[in-house]
């Protein structure tokens, strides 16, 4: 039962004709109904304020959403003392712990451009001996934007802004990543044409991309997707082996002359340009977008 303003007016207009007992009973019904309405609307507000656990961890610089799901599956995350489950939502005041240590909210958002050396692993997992977090020793909690193979070098973005990560990395946004690749034997225009038109790997065909020959064994490639070891697999399918692979650009952010093993902050005009490029990007995966469209929501 919901008592609105119109009902209240009707009640007061007829209450004059009620006996004292009837009036008390009517007021009691009105009070209970209004309390129930408050409870229901409050519940809706609480539900709206809840946030997915993996997004909470990502937004606070702990790890990416995907890594958060892996940690949840391993039972390393608790919420209010209970083991977390995949896909769960948490209240604003929930106590979230990773390996027993409480996760605190981080307000300052940072974005770094890092020149990854070969041998460094792109993970926030501390048990990995050569993980990028221990290598950088940055004072704030950050994690990598996507991955570079252990043997690959070049530009790796590091941040604690989970929303930024998803907008940059989601394949559905078609953001460019540029690489310089050297292979084990001479290439020709036919090789470049095949690479550019799409190569069958991992039960799919890679998206059309830009490929340009630099010299007999080196080429430049610009991708808008990031399948597992994509360039190496593409080359292997065509009978080549990658000798060196270096990422030199992600969207408008370029590696430039940044020394291997060092990093710089992405800020000022460079960051403004990046954020402008991300204005119309979605942080949802292709699957999540389809589900959201089916439900009639925004993507």
- The answer on pLDDT for 257 being more than 90 is yes
Q: Where are the domains of the chain?
A: 5-49, 51-102, 111-287
> What pTM, to 2 d.p., does this model score?
0.67
Structure tokens at 207: 């998206």
**Rounded to an integer, what distance in angstroms lies between the CA atom of residue 126 and that of residue 101?**
14
Write down the pLDDT at residue 282.
76
Q: What is the pLDDT of residues 6-53, one digit of tens each?
A: 444 444 444 444 455 555 455 555 555 555 444 444 444 444 578 899
Superfamily (CATH H level) for 111-287: Pseudouridine synthase (3.30.2350.10)
Write down the pLDDT at residue 256.
96
Q: Which residues are catalytic?
A: 149
**Rounded to an integer, what distance in angstroms lies between the CA atom of residue 210 and that of residue 195?**
8
Q: What is the pLDDT of residues 168-194, one digit of tens each?
A: 988 889 999 999 999 999 999 999 999
**Rounded to an integer, what distance in angstroms lies between the CA atom of residue 156 and that of residue 149?**
11
Mean residue pLDDT of the chain comes to 84
Structure tokens at 143: 């994690």
Structural contact between residues 106 and 61, judged by C-beta atoms closer than 8 angstroms: yes
CB neighbour list of residue 223: distance below 8 Å, 6 or more residues apart = 176, 177, 178, 179, 206, 207, 209, 230, 231
**Residue 217: which of 180, 247, 246, 249 has the closest Cα?**
180
Write down the pLDDT at residue 74.
92
The SS3 of residue 159 is strand
Q: What is the DSSP string of 51-104?
A: EEHHHHHHHTTS--HHHHHHHHHTT-EEETTEE--TT-EE-TT--EEETTEEPP
Domain 51-102 architecture: Roll (3.10)
């Amino acid at each position: 039962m919901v008592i609105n303003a119109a009902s209240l007016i009707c009640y007061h207009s007829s209450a004059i004709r009620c006996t004292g007992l009837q009036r008390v009973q009517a007021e009691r019904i009105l009070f209970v109904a209004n309390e129930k309405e408050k409870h229901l609307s409050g519940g809706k507000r609480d539900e709206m304020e809840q946030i997915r656990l993996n997004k909470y961890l990502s937004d606070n610089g702990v790890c990416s959403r995907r890594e958060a799901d892996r940690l949840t599956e391993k039972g390393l995350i608790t919420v209010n003392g209970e083991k977390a489950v995949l896909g769960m939502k948490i209240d604003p005041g929930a106590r979230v712990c990773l390996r027993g240590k409480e996760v605190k909210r981080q307000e300052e958002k940072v974005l770094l451009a890092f020149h990854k050396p070969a041998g460094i692993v792109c993970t926030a997992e501390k048990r990995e001996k050569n993980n990028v977090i221990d290598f950088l020793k940055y004072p704030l909690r950050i994690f990598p934007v996507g991955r570079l193979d252990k043997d690959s070098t070049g530009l790796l973005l590091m941040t604690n802004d989970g929303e930024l990560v998803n907008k940059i990395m989601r394949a559905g946004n078609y953001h460019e990543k540029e690489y310089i690749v050297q292979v084990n034997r001479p290439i020709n225009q036919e090789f470049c044409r095949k690479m550019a038109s799409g190569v069958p790997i991992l039960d799919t065909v890679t998206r059309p991309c830009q490929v340009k020959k630099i010299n007999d064994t080196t080429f430049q490639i610009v991708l808008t997707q990031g399948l597992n070891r994509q360039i190496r697999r593409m080359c292997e399918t065509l009978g080549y082996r990658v000798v060196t692979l270096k990422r030199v650009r992600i969207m408008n952010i370029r590696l430039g002359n940044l020394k291997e093993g060092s990093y710089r902050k992405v800020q000022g005009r460079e960051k403004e340009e990046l954020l402008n490029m991300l204005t119309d990007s979605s942080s949802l995966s292709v699957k999540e977008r389809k589900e959201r469209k089916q439900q009639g929501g925004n993507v």
